Chain A
Amino acid sequence: MPMTENGEFRPLIVAFCCNWCSYAGADLAGSSRLSYPADVKIIRVPCSGRVNPMFILRAFERGADGVIICGCHPGDCHYTSGNYFARRRMTLLFSMLDYIGVENGRTRVEWVSAAEGAKFSATMNEFVEKIKSLGENVRLGDLRCKD
Chain B
Amino acid sequence: MQRIGVFVCHCGTNIAATVDVKKVVELVRFEPGVVHAEDYPYMCSEVGQQKIAEAIKEKQLTGVVVCSCSPRMHEATFRNCAEKAGLNPYMVEVANIREHCSWIHKDMEEATKKAVILARAAIAKVNLNTPLQAGESPVVKRALVIGGGIAGIQTAIDIAEAGYKVDIVEKTPSIGGRMSQLDKTFPTLDCSSCILTPKMVEVSTHPNITIHTYSEVDKVSGFVGNFTVDIKKKARSVDLDKCTGCGVCQQKCPMKKVPNEFNRELNTRSAIYTPFAQAVPNVPVIDREHCLMFKTGKCGVCSKVCQAGAVDYEQQDEIITEKYGAIVVATGFDIIKLDKYDEYAYSQSPDVITSLELERIMNAAGPTNGHLERMSDHKPPKNMVFIQCVGSRCADHRGKSYCSKICCMYTAKHAMLIRDKYPDVNVTVFYIDVRTPGKNFDEFYRRAVEQYHVNYIKGQVGKVAPQPDGSLLVQGVDLIDNKQIVMNADMVVLAAAIEPNPDIRKIATMLTASIDTNNFLTEAHAKLRPVESPTAGIFLSGVTQGPKDIPETVSQAGAAAVKVIGLLAKDKLKTNPCTAKCDVMMCNGCSTCANVCPYGAITYEDQEVRGPGVREVRRVAQVNVALCQGCGACTGACPSGAMDLQGFSNRQLISEVDAICR
> Contact at A82–B104, with CB atoms within 8 Å?
no
- Asked if A46 meets B106 with Cβ closer than 8 Å, knowing A24-B72, A38-B111, A89-B636, the reply is no
Answer yes or no: B508 CB below 8 A from chain A CBs.
yes
Of residues 627 through 660 on chain B, the ones whose CB sits less than 8 Å from some CB of chain A are: 629-633, 635-637, 645, 648, 650, 653-654, 656-658, 660
- On chain B, the residues within 8 Å of A21 by CB distance are 514
Report the separation of the CA atoms of residues A53 and B654 in the bound assembly, to the nearest whole angstrom: 11
- The interface centre, meaning the residue of A26, A41, A82 with most chain B CB atoms within 10 A of its CB, is A41
Q: Which residues of B contact A115 (CB under 8 A)?
A: 514-517, 522
Q: A47-B632, A52-B635, A85-B633 are in contact. Are A58 and B104 (CB under 8 A)?
A: no
Known: A75-B509, A78-B512. Contact between A36 and B648, CB under 8 A?
no
What residues of B have a CB within 8 angstroms of the CB of A29 in the complex?
A: 99, 104
Most chain B CB inside 10 Å of its own CB: which residue of A27, A34, A38, A54: A38
Q: Which of B101, B632, B661 contacts A50 (CB 8 A)?
A: B632
Contact string, A18-59, partner B, CB cutoff 8 A, digits 1/0? Answer: 011101101101110111101001111111011111110011
Which residues of chain B are within 8 angstroms of A12 by Cβ–Cβ distance? 660-661
How near does chain B come to A138, taking the closest CB pair, in angstroms? 15
Nearest CB in chain A to that of B221: its residue: A80
Interface flags for A70-113 (1: CB within 8 Å of B; 0: not) read 00100111111110011001000000000000000000000001
- B654 near A27 with CB under 8 A, answer no
* Chain B contacts for A114, CB-based, 8 A: 514, 516, 522, 534
B453 to chain A, nearest CB (A): 43
Q: A24-B534, A50-B635 are in contact. Are A113 and B72 (CB under 8 A)?
A: no
Q: Once bound together, how far apart are the Cα atoms of A45 and B647, in whole Å?
A: 10
Q: How far is the CB of A137 from chain B (nearest CB, A)?
A: 11
Q: How far is the CA of A135 from the CA of B628 in the complex (A)?
A: 42
Q: Could you say which of A41, A45, A76 contacts B117, with CB atoms under 8 Å apart?
A: A41
Count how many pairs of residues, one from A and one from B, have CB atoms less than 8 Å apart in the complex.
163
Q: Which residues of B contact A64 (CB under 8 A)?
A: 657, 660-661
B96 interface residue, CB < 8 Å from A?
A: yes
Contact A47:B656 (CB < 8 A) given known A20-B534, A27-B70, A115-B517? no
A64 to chain B, nearest CB (A): 5
Contact of B596 among A31, A34, A58, A85 (CB under 8 A): A85
Residues of chain B contacted by A78 (CB below 8 angstroms): 512, 534-535, 631
**Residue A62 at the chain B interface, CB threshold 8 Å:** yes
Interface residues on A, range: 35 or more
Alpha-carbon gap, A134 to B96, bound state (A): 29
**Are B100 and A42 in contact, CB atoms less than 8 angstroms apart?**
yes
> Is there an interface contact between B110 and A38, defined as CB atoms closer than 8 Å?
yes
Residues of A within 8 A of B512 (CB): 76-80
Instruction: Tell whether B587 is near chain A: CB-to-CB under 8 Å.
Output: no
- Bound Cα distance A41, B653 (Å): 13
B105 contacts partner chain A, Cβ-Cβ < 8 Å: yes
Q: Is B598 an interface residue (CB 8 A)?
A: yes
Give Cα A33–Cα B106 distance, bound, in whole angstroms: 10
Docked pose: A66 CA to B118 CA in angstroms: 17
CB of A146, distance to nearest CB on chain B (Å): 12
**Interface: B121 (CB within 8 A):** yes
Measured CB to CB, the closest approach of chain A to B107, in angstroms, equals 8
Which of these, A54, A63, A81, contacts B633 with CB under 8 Å?
A: A81
* Assembly CA distance A73 to B374 (angstroms): 46
B118 CB contacts on chain A under 8 angstroms: 41
Task: Assess whether B111 is in contact with A46, with CB atoms less than 8 Å apart.
Answer: no
Q: How far is the CA of A59 from the CA of B659 in the complex (A)?
A: 10
With a cutoff of 8 Å between Cβ atoms, the chain B residues found around residue A58 in the complex are 654, 657-658
Interface core residue of B508, B658, B661 (most chain A CB under 10 Å):
B661
A80, B598: Cβ atoms closer than 8 Å: yes
- Nearest chain-B residue to A26 (Cβ)? B100
In the complex, chain B residues whose CB is within 8 Å of the CB of A55: 650, 653-654, 657
Structural contact, B661 and A46, CB atoms closer than 8 A: no
How far, in whole Å, are A23 and B70 apart by their CA atoms in the complex? 9
Contact, CB under 8 Å: A46 / B636: no
Asked, given contacts A20-B534, A115-B514, whether A49 binds B633 with beta carbons under 8 Å apart, the answer is yes
> What's the nearest-Cβ distance from chain B to residue A52, in Å?
5
Contact A30:B104 (CB < 8 A) given known A12-B661, A85-B637: yes
The docked-state distance in angstroms from the alpha carbon of A21 to that of B657 is 21
Interface contact A46-B657, CB-CB below 8 Å: no
In the assembled complex, the Cα of A23 lies from the Cα of B658 at a distance in Å of: 20
Query: With a CB–CB cut-off of 8 A, which chain A residues contact B534?
Result: 20, 24, 78, 114
Question: When the two chains form their complex, are residues B117 and A27 in contact, meaning their CB atoms are under 8 A apart?
Answer: no
User: Across the interface, do B517 and A116 meet the contact criterion of CB distance under 8 Å?
Assistant: yes
Q: Is B232 among interface residues, defined by CB-CB distance under 8 A?
A: no
Q: How far is the CB of B57 from the nearest CB of chain A, in Å?
A: 28
B635 adjacent to A41 (CB under 8 Å): no
A46 → chain B closest CB, angstroms: 5
Asked if B71 lies at the interface with its beta carbon under 8 angstroms from chain A, I say yes
> How long is the Cα–Cα vector from A54 to B98 in the complex, in angstroms?
29
Contact A44 B509 (CB under 8 A): no
Q: How far is the CB of B217 from chain A (nearest CB, A)?
A: 15
Q: Please indicate the chain A residues that have their CB under 8 angstroms from the CB of B414 in the complex.
A: none
A30 in contact with B98 (CB, 8 Å): yes
Chain A residues whose CB sits within 8 angstroms of the CB of B113 once the complex forms: 38
Q: Can you name 29 A-B residue pairings with CB atoms under 8 Å? A: A24-B534, A27-B70, A29-B99, A30-B101, A30-B103, A38-B105, A38-B111, A43-B121, A44-B71, A45-B648, A46-B578, A46-B630, A46-B631, A46-B645, A49-B596, A49-B633, A50-B631, A50-B635, A50-B645, A55-B657, A58-B658, A59-B661, A64-B657, A76-B515, A82-B598, A82-B633, A89-B637, A113-B522, A115-B517
Interface residues of A (CB under 8 A from B): 12, 14, 19-21, 23-24, 26-27, 29-31, 33-36, 38, 41-47, 49-55, 58-59, 62-64, 72, 75-82, 85-86, 89, 113-116, 121
Which B residues lie at the A interface, using CB under 8 A? 70-73, 96, 98-101, 103-107, 110-111, 113-114, 117-118, 121, 505, 508-509, 512, 514-517, 522, 534-535, 578, 596, 598-599, 629-633, 635-637, 645, 648, 650, 653-654, 656-658, 660-662
Beyond A38-B110, A79-B631, 4 additional pairs, beta carbon < 8 A: A21-B514, A34-B104, A41-B660, A113-B517
Q: Which 8 A-B pairs have the closest CB atoms?
A: A30-B99, A50-B632, A62-B661, A115-B516, A79-B631, A49-B633, A30-B103, A27-B99
